[in-house]
Structure 1
Amino acid sequence: MAEKYGPIFRLKLGVNQVVIVSDPKIAKECFTTNDMAFANRPKSIASEILGYNYALFGLAPYGPYWRDIRKIATIELLSARRIEMFSDIREFEVKLAVKEIYNKSSKLNGVVKMETKEWFANLIMNIMVRILFGVRYTGPKGDLAMKKIPES
Structure 2
Amino acid sequence: MNRTAARRQLSRDGWLSLLLVIAPVLISRQLPELAGRFGESLALPLFIIGLASLFLNLPRFTAYKHALIATEKGLDTGDESSAWMALRAVRLRALWIAALPAWLAAIGAPLGLEPVAQVLLVCGSLVLLVLYRIPRQLQ
Q: TM-score, normalised by structure 2?
A: 0.31
Q: Which has the higher contact order (CA 8 A, sep 6+)?
A: 2
* Structure number with higher strand proportion: 1
* Structure number with higher helix proportion: 2
User: Larger radius of gyration, structure 1 or 2?
Assistant: 1
